[in-house]
């Protein structure tokens, strides 16, 4: 997707980029909606460090957790906060995830 021309309100609408779709094989996808930690995370994810409130402990610059290849950001790390903070954490984590995956890819070549 890319942003198209602004409409009458000034909002730029997303426009599909033809032939830009791709599939990505993954082991797990976590859809997280909420403002507090899910107690299942601690009991089902071995090697993932959490604090006394159940929030995931993650590096503030990369979102990297104690479990290699697992990244976290937003309310699950900070507790209830603003969307802007969560978006910032997501952006940092996305860059770190890209670096992590590119390094893994280089290892397999």
pLDDT in tens, 62-97: 999 999 999 999 888 998 888 889 899 999 999 999
What digits encode the pLDDT tens for the residues 31-47? 766 667 778 888 888 89
CA 90, CA 47: separation in Å to the nearest integer? 22
Question: Is the full-model pTM beyond 0.85?
Answer: no
* CA neighbor of 96 nearest in space, from 74, 65, 75: 65
Decide: helix, strand or coil at residue 94: helix
* Cα separation values, 15 from 20, 26, 30, 53, 102, Å: 11, 26, 26, 41, 28
Report all structural domains of the chain as residue ranges with CATH numbers, in order of start: 28-107 (3.50.50.60)
Query: Integer distance in angstroms from the first to the last C-alpha of the chain?
Result: 30
Residue 70, token pair as written in the block: 């697992």
């Amino acid at each position: 997707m890319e942003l198209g021309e602004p409409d009458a309100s000034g909002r730029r609408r997303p426009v599909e980029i033809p032939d830009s779709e791709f599939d990505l094989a993954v082991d797990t996808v976590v859809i997280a909606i909420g403002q507090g930690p899910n107690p299942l995370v601690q009991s089902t994810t071995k090697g993932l460090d959490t604090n006394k409130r159940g929030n995931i402990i993650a590096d503030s610059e990369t979102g990297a957790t104690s479990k290699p290849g697992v990244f976290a950001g937003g309310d699950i790390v900070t507790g209830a906060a603003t969307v802007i903070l969560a978006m910032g954490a997501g952006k940092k984590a996305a860059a770190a995830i890209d670096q992590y995956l590119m390094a893994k890819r280089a290892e397999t070549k």
